[in-house]
Amino acid sequence: MLHSQFVPIPRGDHLSTASDKSTRKLHPTFRVKVDLEFYPNMSFDTLGLSAELLRAVEEQGYREPTPIQSQAIPVVLQGRDLMASAQTGTGKTAGFTLPLLQLLSKDAQPVKGRRPVRALILTPTRELAAQIGENVRDYSKYLNIRSLVVFGGVSINPQMMKLRGGVDVLVATPGRLLDLEHQRAVDLSNVEILVLDEADRMLDMGFIHDIRRVLAKLPAKRQNLLFSATFSDEIKELANKLLTNPASVEVARRNTASEQVEQSVHFVDKRRKRELLAQLIGTHNWQQVLVFTRTKYGANHLAEQLNKDGITAAAIHGNKSQGARTRALADFKAGSIRVLVATDIAARGLDIDQLPHVVNFELPNVPEDYVHRIGRTGRAESTGEALSLVCVDEHKLLRDIERLLKREIPRIAIEGYEPDPSIKADPIQNGRQSQGRGQGRGQGQGRGQSQGRSQGNGQSRDGARSGEKPRSNNGGQRRAAGEGRKPEARGDAPSSQQRRPYRGNKKPATTA
């Protein structure tokens, strides 16, 4: 774990908002890399939380706050805006949920009629929204707080009915929230606290326009909390327009991997990857393995093949119904299936205790996604194993990952699976390979097929489908692209104009 220190960051930045053209100098902030050893006697009851929250936290089995919690909770309780960089698995959800609930319960006022939405938490995917919603319910167990989770891919009518009863905390994906607002099912004019969770992923998925539309519905006076895996230039630009005098906390940078995760690389020919994976699972008797592929088709195909090999498996991705994804995850956690095959975006928000094995069946196009993937194991005090099956086509991707990690991942040769040196690399472009050697268009991998064009950052359209579809400004184009007229039909991929990742004011990068 990292040893911690406070490092003042001099800030001379200025920010301007759409509503206020004047500039305001940002308050000096602190970037913090912390470790519990820096706070040897740190406990939740030293953070200023109420007895009701402390009781709920204790019932969840937590005794000491994580680094992000120990730094974020006091800042939020002070009412300050916050910009926090933390990966999944660091406890960031409780870092904003606990103080948010404290503030709402402390300032609760009796209201006549329907309760207004006082806190809004925006997330990129359904799974993450569901996970946060569950945490809100757990922590607010002894508070007079109502919460609700809304996302696309399911009928909108039950969500509208629940909103009529009034909620204090609303967890939502951007697209479904705008659908509900359009139907006047939700009023955002009383929001006191806004949370953008995994903001970097929302920008990558093309949600910047949806976010701007949501911000326009909110009152100007509110507390803003922005959580991201990194302080990229795009995130900084968003923060400058959103946050006022924010505190800045940085924990577990995304180019670092947990020392508790044992990483390895197995070089193998592409056509023999599935065979090797099945042998590893069988030989070592692995009972719980999370496997990553680059595409939805690849996830489906691999799960089918593993089941034929006698290894119970299921796939989750954006084309699966919410019910199917929920069942697959529940079966995986319960041990009914041994392998869960997932795409990167579909796995966002998955919380699996003590997951022992992560396998990169295909390396991700974006190096940072490798860190997100292997971060699913080796959490808290647990150890984990992350292995990557790398074919000749993926050597460049491996070099990019190692450059990010600033280290070489150990290579382990497996007898009988040595790669054929005569096979030449078939370059991977935007998650796909050419029709000749890769998976052809007839399998849904080419342009115009089910996978469609990938996003500018190399991720497939699965990213947007896994959560919510960014709203198009052109209804005709949306219907032409196959989107239904009913709000509950939302969930299709973004239009071609909006599926490029947000790059601020920079010109869109051209792709090969």
Q: How many domains does the chain have?
A: 2
Give the CA radius of gyration of the chain: 23
What's the pLDDT score for residue 298? 94
338 closest CA partner among 286, 273, 284: 286
Flag whether 371 is in a domain.
Answer: yes
Between CA 83 and CA 71 the distance in angstroms is 11
- Domain end position, chosen among 250, 279, 310: 250
Question: Is there a contact between 455 and 204 (Cβ–Cβ < 8 Å)?
Answer: yes
Residues 139 and 280 placed together within one structural domain of the fold: no
Q: Which residues contact 239 (CB under 8 A, 6 or more apart)?
A: 83, 226, 246
Between CA 368 and CA 354 the distance in angstroms is 22
3-class DSSP string for 406-435: CCCCCECCCCCCCCCCCCCCCCEECCEECC
What's the pLDDT score for residue 45? 85
Tell me the β-bridge partners of 316. 342
What's 19's DSSP letter?
A: S
Flag whether 462 is in a domain.
Answer: no
Domain of 19 in residue numbering reads as 5-250
Residue type, 104: L
First-last CA distance in the chain: 40
Between CA 214 and CA 232 the distance in angstroms is 22
- Domain end position, chosen among 204, 228, 250: 250
Flag whether 397 is in a domain.
Answer: yes
Number of Cβ atoms within 10 Å of the Cβ of 303: 24
Flag whether 385 is in a domain.
Answer: yes
Flag whether 256 is in a domain.
Answer: no
Residues 268 and 243 placed together within one structural domain of the fold: no
Between CA 504 and CA 34 the distance in angstroms is 30
Tokens coding 375: 């971060």
* Bridging pattern class, strands 313-316 and 339-342: parallel
Along the 512 residues of the chain, how does pLDDT read in single tens digits?
Answer: 333 333 333 333 333 333 333 333 333 344 443 333 344 447 888 898 999 999 999 888 787 888 889 999 999 999 999 999 877 667 889 999 999 999 999 876 655 667 899 999 999 988 889 989 999 999 999 999 999 999 998 999 999 999 998 999 999 999 999 999 999 999 999 999 999 999 988 988 889 999 999 999 999 999 999 998 878 888 888 999 999 999 998 875 544 556 678 999 999 999 999 999 999 999 999 999 999 999 999 999 999 999 999 999 999 987 888 788 889 989 999 999 999 999 887 776 677 778 899 999 999 988 878 888 888 887 655 678 999 999 999 999 999 999 888 899 999 999 999 999 999 888 765 444 443 333 433 333 333 333 333 333 433 334 444 445 565 544 433 333 333 333 333 333 343 344 444 444 444 443 33
Residues 235 and 267 placed together within one structural domain of the fold: no
Residues 244 and 270 placed together within one structural domain of the fold: no
What's the pLDDT score for residue 125? 87
Residue type, 416: G
Residues 271 and 293 placed together within one structural domain of the fold: yes
Residues 354 and 322 placed together within one structural domain of the fold: yes
* Bridging pattern class, strands 147-150 and 432-433: unpaired
511 phi and psi angles, rounded to 5 deg: -115, 155
Between CA 32 and CA 500 the distance in angstroms is 32
What's the pLDDT score for residue 382? 67
Residues 286 and 347 placed together within one structural domain of the fold: yes
CATH number, domain containing residue 325: 3.40.50.300
Query: What DSSP string describes 438-456?
Result: S--GGGT-STTSSS-SPPT
Give the H/E segment covering residue 305: helix 296-308
Residues 174 and 123 placed together within one structural domain of the fold: yes
Flag whether 496 is in a domain.
Answer: no
Tokens coding 230: 């990194």
Residues 228 and 318 placed together within one structural domain of the fold: no
Between CA 84 and CA 71 the distance in angstroms is 10
Between CA 129 and CA 145 the distance in angstroms is 18
Question: Is there a contact between 4 and 38 (Cβ–Cβ < 8 Å)?
Answer: yes
Question: Is there a contact between 93 and 132 (Cβ–Cβ < 8 Å)?
Answer: yes
What's the pLDDT score for residue 40? 42
Q: Give the ranges where 309-375 is alpha helix by DSSP (H).
A: 322-334, 367-374
Residues 88 and 234 placed together within one structural domain of the fold: yes
SS3 category, 329 = helix
- Using N-to-C axis directions, what is the helix angle for 157-164 and 174-182, rounded to 10°? 70
- Domain end position, chosen among 373, 399, 433: 433
Residues 283 and 246 placed together within one structural domain of the fold: no
Flag whether 78 is in a domain.
Answer: yes
Instruction: State CA 329 to chain mean position distance.
Output: 16
342 closest CA partner among 372, 398, 298, 379: 298
371 phi and psi angles, rounded to 5 deg: -65, -40
Residues 284 and 175 placed together within one structural domain of the fold: no
What's 467's DSSP letter?
A: B
Tokens coding 328: 């697959």
363 closest CA partner among 293, 467, 455: 293
Flag whether 469 is in a domain.
Answer: no
